[in-house]
Amino acid sequence: METESEPYIRLATLRLLHEVVADLNTARSLADTVQTVADGVIAGLGYELSAVNLVRPDGDLIVAAVGGSAGAEALMAGRVGSRASWERRLSMGDRWGDLRFIPYTEGWVLDEDDVPEWHTPGPAPRFPDEWHPMDRLLAPMYTAGGAGGELIGVISVDRPRNGRRPGAWGREALQMYAFHAATAIGNARLRANMQRALLRLEREQQALRASEESFRQAFEYAPSGMAIAEMGGDHHGRLLRANDALCRLLGRTASALRRCSFSDLVHPEDMGTLMRTSAEGGRAELRLQRRDGSYVWVNLRNSVVADAADGPRFQLTHVEDIEERKRHELQLAHRASHDSLTGLPNSAELRARLGSRLCAHPPRPGESGAGDAEAGGLSRGYDAFDGPGGAGVFDGPGAAGVFDRPGGSGVFDGPGGSGGPGVFERPGGPAVGGIPYEPHVHAIAPREDDDVDDGHKGLAVLFCDLDGFKSINDRFGHHAGDAVLIEVARRLAGGVREGDTVARLGGDEFVVLADGLGRADAQDLAVRLRNAITPPIRVDGRAVRVGASFGIGWASCGMTAEEVLHSADQRMYVEKRSRAKERRRAG
């Protein structure tokens, strides 16, 4: 029977248990909570030694805290026992509810396993319920508070102070304590995970703020222009931000740039390049308009700032000023295509310009060149295509090409037509490539067997050779000869129309390309240019004279540039010989 003092002992035990359980919830960290669990067994349940073993992520159990003995703590703390050994222990012995009691008579088989433990030898029990030093009492801790949950650890206890195995009340108190300990450890782990997550989030936010500040600094103080544009929506392409370098480059304020997009600033000829670059990313070279109306060459590099959930959000554009580089490129191109002495187009540029007006297909009978073209004839425009379904050959300015017409012939809509000026359309389709072009005009030479100018206009090629130039070089040196060539080039350039070409072929030979001239017009032009050359030229204080012989050739499609120049050269020599005979007869 229960003695009279038993209720008071239980009440005292409950008070102690209440105090140690309250202490479990005041620990600040997981390590403090586990140590409090071990110390609570000593303070509240009447045992002299306790150990708390926690399940690691790999499944094994580690001794996380030891209470009641510094020697045992030094020996056991931090040591690991395998999951298999622990499951073996929890499956044997006597089951006291959720507790496992392994008496010394059965526990000897566990002496050689890898579970850390602390035991002291002692005599055999003198009465049945006496505690033996080799007895083992284990209190498993589960997540759900019972055996149905996931094992999170095991509390092992030893050496009860009264020297007896716990009775029913002692067992229930230990089991209740294990339940509260499991809850406290779970809460501590949750708090630790939350603290780690908050710390990680704070670090990420600090890194994000630092990254944003770095980007802002790099954006605002970049030596070259940078802009952020909106993507999608009603304001696609509108600039959201522009740095100081871009404002200085374009001579505009940041607030003014935020009201426009690059399409509002780009040169009309570069609009297609801008659209392709904006759609595909990458880079492009184009011209942007300054506030004063001038244009500056820039290199645009686009990159898309995307959101993993919403897709592209913004477009970051780097704008580099390449005006100086473009100027150098143009200068190099000019030097490659122009004579270094006179500044006129050189031989290669002359042949390129002449070749751009010639196609490989001579005009058909009955065509008279530009006159018919203006009347709507096929001589103005690309050559007629072959039959339905065939391939049509067309000659663009300076080059020949082949255009395949699947299923029909092409139609060119001239001025006022449905296709607009200079746009070639297929029946029922858009312009070829969507790009308008200037139509090719056949160059057709006038008839040479007519003594009278029939009014035909063609491309005249005037070949000029200076008379008496060699003697100036021989008498006064190459310096004087160079000065004469420079002045002759100036006079020739001043005597032609805008759009005509005056080129230096080499030495003292010059060529003039003049389009839209009849035979009489070409002869008048040769006379005017000759009269412009013959006046005295002052070189180093002395006056020198040179004459000029002109040969007039005519460019015609079906001829090469070399053939046209050779024809004009031969006519020049014919004129030079005839003028020499006239001077001899006059003498």
- Please report, for the chain, the start and end positions of each structural domain, with discontinuous segments joined by +: 6-193, 221-326, 346-380+441-587
CA 526 to chain centre: 58
* Segment 334-373, tens digit of pLDDT: 899 999 999 999 999 999 999 888 887 776 655 544 444 3
* Rounded Cα gap, residues 157 and 72, in angstroms: 12
Domain 6-193 has CATH 3.40.50.720: no
Q: Domain 221-326 is of which CATH architecture?
A: 2-Layer Sandwich (3.30)
Question: What confidence score (pLDDT) does residue 391 get?
Answer: 37
Burial environment of residue 79 by CB neighbours within 10 A (0 to 12, 13 to 18, 19 or more): middle
Smallest Cα–Cα separation from 458: which of 365, 373, 556? 556
Q: Which residue in 373, 462, 385 sits closest to 426, CA to CA?
A: 385
Sheet containing strand 239-242, strands side by side: 239-242, 225-230, 311-321, 295-307, 282-289
CATH of segment(s) 346-380+441-587:
3.30.70.270
Query: Which of 62, 58, 97 is closest to 76 using CA atoms?
Result: 62
Same CATH topology for 6-193 and 221-326: the answer is yes
- Closest by CA to 548, choosing from 512, 584, 520, is 512
Per-residue confidence (pLDDT) for residue 43, from 0 to 100: 86
Of residues 387, 442, 432, 390, the one with CA closest to residue 412:
432
- Alpha-carbon distances of 193 from 29, 61, 319, 411, 576, rounded to whole Å: 11, 20, 47, 76, 103
Helix (H) or strand (E) holding 557: none
* pLDDT, tens digit (0-9, with 9 covering 90-100), for 218-274: 888 888 899 998 887 777 888 999 999 999 999 999 999 988 999 999 999 999 988
- Its pTM stands at 0.49
Mark the ranges of the chain whose per-residue pLDDT is less than 50: 1-4, 368-439, 450, 584-587
